[in-house]
């Protein structure tokens, strides 16, 4: 079954700690995206990648980093520089182009200890 | 920069009543997408509209793209409890990314 897998489902971060959220897809999509969703809010774009070894900052990239070493994988690191990391993080993928629907993973809920 | 406004923010309806959410852009759009997110879930793609004045239907859901391609609406006829969730529009921003609206949260009272 094709899809997007995000792990873990829940994650807790201590002060000063970096944490990495995993996102893997087997849909053969070229483009991948990371969004942040706060309670009762819409989706805000953190980073996106159209091809392997290339990625661009979205609207709220500060305090986050990504890599795209493989087509199937687009991990997101929430660094200690992100002062308010508690949120629901959603990974998505699509075929390349401006009119392609995005397929989302189940998300990771990150909380501060 | 480009702005997307979605109204209303919340809507409570009795089961069987109709529901409409509106999405308005500050710029002319090449296309618009609609997604549904169930409580605790992830957004799921519903439909994409491309042509001016386009109307598409999915069972009880009717999607419309404005003539000027700057606004869109999603109408649900005779809501059911399964329609509960947040409905988002998404519009292109540049070549490779989309901006999501703030969403309309629908609650259906049985």
Residues of A in contact with B6 (CB under 8 A): 42
List the 52-111 stretch of A: residues with Cβ below 8 A of B.
56, 58, 90, 92, 96, 98-99, 101-107
* Residue pLDDT, tens place only, B65-82: 999 999 999 999 999 999
* Residue pLDDT, tens place only, B29-66: 999 999 999 999 999 999 999 999 999 999 999 999 99
Could you tell me the strand order of the sheet in which B19-25 lies? B4-7, B19-25, B71-76, B61-65, B55-58
Residues of B in contact with A93 (CB under 8 A): none
**Angstrom distance (rounded) from CA B40 to CA B38:** 6
* Residue pLDDT, tens place only, A32-83: 999 999 988 889 999 999 999 999 999 999 999 999 999 999 999 999 888 8
Radius of gyration of chain B (CA): 13
| CB-based contact B98 A58, cutoff 8 Å | no
Retrieve residue B66's tokens: 């404005």
Residues of A in contact with B95 (CB under 8 A): 98
Compare CB distances from B96 to A92, A98, A101 and report the shortest one's residue: A98
Residues of A in contact with B102 (CB under 8 A): 41-42
Compare CB distances from A41 to B43, B45, B102 and report the shortest one's residue: B102
Position B96 confidence tier, pLDDT thresholds 50, 70, 90: confident
- Maximum Cα interatomic distance, chain A, rounded to a whole number of Å: 40
For A41, the 3-state DSSP assignment is coil
- Please determine, for residue A3, whether its predicted confidence score (pLDDT) is greater than 90: yes
pLDDT at A112: 86
pLDDT at A1: 58
Compare CB distances from B30 to A41, A98, A106 and report the shortest one's residue: A98
Residue A10: left (phi > 0), alpha (psi -120 to 50), or beta? Answer: beta
pLDDT at B68: 96
Window from A33-37, A97-101, A104-108 with minimum mean pLDDT: A97-101
């Amino acid at each position: 079954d094709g899809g997007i897998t995000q792990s873990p489902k829940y994650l807790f971060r201590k002060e000063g700690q970096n944490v990495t959220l995993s996102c893997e897809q087997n849909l053969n999509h070229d483009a991948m995206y990371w969004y942040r969703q706060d309670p009762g809010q819409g989706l805000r774009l953190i980073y996106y990648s159209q091809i392997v070894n290339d990625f661009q900052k979205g609207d709220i990239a500060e305090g986050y980093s990504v890599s795209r070493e493989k087509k199937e994988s687009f991990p997101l690191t929430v660094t200690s520089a992100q002062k308010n990391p508690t949120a629901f993080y959603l990974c998505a993928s699509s075929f390349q182009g401006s009119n392609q629907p995005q397929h989302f993973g189940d998300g990771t809920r990150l909380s501060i200890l | 920069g480009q702005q997307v406004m979605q109204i209303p923010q919340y809507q409570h309806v009795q089961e069987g009543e109709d529901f409409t959410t509106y999405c308005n852009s500050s710029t002319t759009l090449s296309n618009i997408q609609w997604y549904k997110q169930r409580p605790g879930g992830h957004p799921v793609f519903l439909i994409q509209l491309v042509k001016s004045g386009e109307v598409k239907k999915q069972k009880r859901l009717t999607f419309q793209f404005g003539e000027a391609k700057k606004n869109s609406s999603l109408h649900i006829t005779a809501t059911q409890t399964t329609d509960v969730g947040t409905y988002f529009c998404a519009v292109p921003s540049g070549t490779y990314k989309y901006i999501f609206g703030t969403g309309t949260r629908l609650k259906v009272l049985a």
